[in-house]
Amino acid sequence: MKKLIIMLVMLISATAYGKVRVASGNGSAFLRGTMTSVESELGYNHYNKALMARLRVGSTFVLDPLFLTIAPYVEVKTGLPFVFGLQTEMMHLETGLWLQAGAMVDIKGRPGGIAAAGWSIFGVEYQKYNGREKLNRLLFIKLKLPFSFIYYATEQPWNK
C-alpha cells in the first residue's frame, strides 16, 4: 500500500528520472538516490498581464520523504528580457508541498531573485529584479509540468 501511495504522490508532486531505488529497513520501504529532472513551469500575473514560461534541467536528490533539486533554468516573460538562473527546490513527497528559491540574471545583466511555494503542480512565485521597469516585482500563479517525473513514476517495477 505504501508503494502505491508513493507512486501516486510522485505522479502529481515531483520531477525526476534516474537511479532511485525502493529500499527497506526496519520493516518499512523508503526511496533513496539521485535523478535527472526535467520540468517546465508556466505562470501568469493578472495585474501586469505578464506570462512566464520556464524550462529547467537538473539533479534531484531523494532522501525519503524529501526531494531536493538544484537546476539551472531559462525563462521568458512578456515585457521583460530573457532570463537565466539557478533554482533550488525542496519537496515533501508524502504531502506534495514544495518550496523554491533561486537567483537569476537577465540578458541585460540585471540580477534578481525568486521565491515560490506550492502544492502538487500548483504554486505561487514572487520575483524581484534590480531594475526600474514597471515589472521589477512580479507575483505569478504557476503550474508545474513535471515531464520526466511522470515517465519515471510509470516505469517503476511496482507499476508492472
The owner of cell 505569478 is: 140
- CB-based contact 155:1 (threshold 8 Å): no
Task: Tell how far CA 140 is from the center of its chain.
Answer: 14
Q: What is the pLDDT of residue 148?
A: 65
pLDDT one digit per residue (tens) for the chain, 160 residues: 444 444 433 433 333 344 555 554 554 555 666 777 778 888 888 777 888 899 888 888 877 778 888 899 999 888 778 899 999 999 887 788 889 999 999 898 889 999 999 998 899 999 888 766 655 788 889 988 877 666 666 665 544 5
Q: What is the pLDDT of residue 146?
A: 73
C-alpha cell at 113: 531573485
pLDDT of residue 9: 39
Taking the CB of residue 134, how many other CB atoms lie within 10 A of it?
10
pTM: 0.72
106 contact partners, CB below 8 Å, separation of at least 6: 80, 81, 82, 83, 84, 112, 129
**C-beta separation of 52 from 44 below 8 A:** yes
Write 54-60 long-range contacts (CB < 8 A, 24+): 56/87, 58/87, 59/34, 59/35, 60/14, 60/15, 60/16, 60/18, 60/34, 60/35, 60/36
